[in-house]
Amino acid sequence: MDYEGKLSEALTSLRNEGRYRVFADIVRHRGSFPRATFHAPEGEKEIVVWCSNDYLGMGQNELVTSAMHEAVDLVGAGSGGTRNISGTTHYHVELEKEIADLHQKESALLFTSGYIANDATLSTLARVFGDCLTISDELNHASMIEGIRRSGGPKRVWRHNDLEHLEELLQSVPLEQPKIVAFESVYSMDGDIAPIGEICDLAHKYGALTYLDEVHAVGLYGPRGGGIAERDGVLDKVDIIEGTLAKGFGVMGGYIAASEAVVDVVRSYAPGFIFSTSLSPVLVAGILASVRHLKASNVEREVHQERAQTLRKMLLDAGLPVMMCESHIVPVMVKDPVLCKQVADDLLNDHNIYVQPINYPTVPRGTERLRFTPCPLHTDEMMESLVHALDDVWTRRKIRRAA
């Protein structure tokens, strides 16, 4: 076997499709985000980051970083074990209480990432129920898809946010068969929002459990940052809420919030939870500060929404193909993978603007795009120079302007 040849063949095919991933080597500077230093092969330069999921800049918030400083001085760097073997610190216990309260659930469970939370929970629940049908929105995140696949149970994919199709699938199996309806609130690539209450009502009518990924909404929506379900007043209709601590909350980790029984089962049966060292208490201290702050403060959420709307309007006025949506995500369509990569390279090389091209498999082929995530710290001036740069690249590369 020519291992090297096989490996390089695999990579060449990605390159030919414009899908080969090049990581941008950047350093964020506390206090000046979204400015950062880009370590290019030719040397360093200052850039503005336009694609961070640190949506509110909480990763650099003084309250968060000082809580982390305090914790590292008090307890040291790591947790030292899995949750079962010496890795449950008081910080973890406090944070799980805080999260259960945020979502008005009996209980919550921390994971090392949102990815693991989805994968571990969906695979475990469907396995424990036995012959459980998981009905999955077609645009669900890879971590949910992977969890459902690993459950080994039957799966049906429902057309994105299509209630009629969902009902059809719910009706296609006996009422007594266990079912989980899995979906997201804010879909992070198109920025559209699911009708959570209606989906849950339908699911419950057919005896299904509801599983909601609020990764792109926690911290960002709802009066206390509880997400879209909180904003819409339907927290009680969602059986299991999953979230991340890495995006709106700005640190790292993931969680579920649900009934005591659900949490107890996942805690007891999910290998991805059981056999992995728990989050560092330093991270957890930072997360606690972030969650507590965003429960009490609306300023960040309000400015965040205003910034997104302002950028969207500026792009529209400049005749750029911005996708309209009701959330904080601002996608600009390129619809060609190679061109999308070239545009991002031009922005970085010529304009010191960093936005990662989003290509297949993250989005369907033919819908390649730039995904801008304005945060409260992006200024009007930064937005003006972004729009100017895009206008320049669009003209030079003769890219279509209609959305």
Site for ligand PLP in 194-213 (CB under 6 A): 213
For position 114 contacting ligand PLP by CB under 6 A, the verdict is: yes
Q: Which is nearer to ligand PLP, 115 or 129 (CB)?
A: 115
Rounded-to-integer distance, Cα 248 and Cα 131, Å:
35
Fill in the amino acid letter for 190: D
Other beta carbons within 10 Å of 314: 19
Site map (CB under 6 A) of ligand PLP, residues 258-297, x = contact: ----------------------------------------
- Give the interface size with ligand PLP as a residue count (CB under 6 A): 14
Q: Establish whether the linkage from the previous residue to 321 is cis, with ω within 30° of 0.
A: no
Choose the binding region for ligand PLP from 76-84, 107-115, 306-314, 395-403 (rule: CB under 6 A): 107-115
C-alpha neighbours within 13 Å on the C-beta side of residue 261: 4
- In our burial notation (b when 16+ CB lie closer than 10 A, e otherwise), range 279-293 reads bbbbbbbbbbbbbbb
HEC letters along 19-30: CCCCCCCEEECC
Contacts of 144 (CB under 8 A, 6+ apart): 118, 119, 122, 136, 182, 213
Q: Which residues are catalytic?
A: 247
Q: Which residue is nearest to ligand PLP (CB)?
A: 114
Q: Is 34 helix (H, G, I), strand (E, B) or coil?
A: coil
Looking at 48, 71, 100, 215, which residue binds ligand PLP (CB under 6 A)?
215
Rounded-to-integer distance, Cα 266 and Cα 111, Å:
11
Residue spans of alpha helices (H) in 76-178:
90-102, 114-129, 142-151, 163-171
For position 214 contacting ligand PLP by CB under 6 A, the verdict is: no
What is the nearest approach in angstroms of ligand PLP to the Cβ of residue 242? 7
Site for ligand PLP in 337-356 (CB under 6 A): none
Rounded-to-integer distance, Cα 282 and Cα 276, Å:
17
Choose the binding region for ligand PLP from 76-84, 113-121, 201-209, 380-388 (rule: CB under 6 A): 113-121
For position 107 contacting ligand PLP by CB under 6 A, the verdict is: no
What is the nearest approach in angstroms of ligand PLP to the Cβ of residue 221? 14
Q: Which is nearer to ligand PLP, 6 or 21 (CB)?
A: 21
Choose the binding region for ligand PLP from 31-39, 112-120, 161-169, 343-351 (rule: CB under 6 A): 112-120
What is the nearest approach in angstroms of ligand PLP to the Cβ of residue 313? 25
Contacts of 12 (CB under 8 A, 6+ apart): none
For position 254 contacting ligand PLP by CB under 6 A, the verdict is: yes
Looking at 83, 92, 141, 307, which residue binds ligand PLP (CB under 6 A)?
141
Q: Which is nearer to ligand PLP, 246 or 383 (CB)?
A: 246
Rounded-to-integer distance, Cα 9 and Cα 329, Å:
35
Looking at 65, 188, 278, 356, which residue binds ligand PLP (CB under 6 A)?
188
Chain residues that interact with ligand PLP, rule: CB under 6 A: 113-115, 118, 141, 143, 184, 188, 213, 215-216, 244, 246, 254
